[in-house]
Amino acid sequence: MTQKIVHDFPPLMKEINAKFNTLNRSVIYSWGNIIYNPTRMYIPPSLMVHEAVHGRRQQPNPGVWWVLYLANKSFRFLEEAAAHRAEYQYLCGNGSRLQRRSARVCVSKRLCGGLYGHMVKRRQANNILDMPEHEFDRIMSAAVEEKGDE
């Protein structure tokens, strides 16, 4: 998915800021096929991959996705796990063992970090990144089925 970059705040910024206190920080926001980048920060290719995952998963209605993302910690974690895994896989690409290890540290640190509310411990974040694709897909499918039962 190609996303257009807009140097402005996203819709629902008031609600996003109330939840994450991001107004005065360099944070980007995916909204379907748009990445809002109010501080004009540099967006590395790996973060574009991360945001593209969000953009695809937000279809067909990014506003509904954001409301659920803000309200439901489990949903937020699964969404971030999927995006962080894609980012990590991109960074590992053809990198050396040292580069892959460095990528794992960086990405897992953000996944378990304060921006998302310290949803998991570092070891759990590492396990998510290292998990085989079929196992991660099974967890995601089970979460979708569970959500459908509510």
Domain finish residue from 24, 39, 71: 71
pLDDT (0 to 100) of residue 143: 79
* Residue 86 β-bridge partners: none
* Residue 36 β-bridge partners: 6, 29
How many structural domains comprise the chain? 2
Asked if residue 148 and residue 78 are part of one domain, the reply reads yes
Asked if residue 146 and residue 89 are part of one domain, the reply reads yes
pLDDT (0 to 100) of residue 81: 96
Asked if residue 94 and residue 121 are part of one domain, the reply reads yes
d(CA 121, CA 89): 20
Asked if residue 56 and residue 77 are part of one domain, the reply reads no
Contact 54/79 with Cβ under 8 angstroms?
A: yes
Asked if residue 61 and residue 121 are part of one domain, the reply reads no
pLDDT (0 to 100) of residue 147: 56
Domain of 104, in residue numbers: 73-150
- Residues in the chain where the model's pLDDT stays below 50: 149-150
pLDDT (0 to 100) of residue 1: 77
Domain finish residue from 27, 54, 71: 71
Asked if residue 132 and residue 80 are part of one domain, the reply reads yes
Asked if residue 77 and residue 147 are part of one domain, the reply reads yes
Asked if residue 93 and residue 38 are part of one domain, the reply reads no
Asked if residue 58 and residue 35 are part of one domain, the reply reads yes
Domain finish residue from 56, 71, 86: 71
| DSSP conformation class of 101 | H
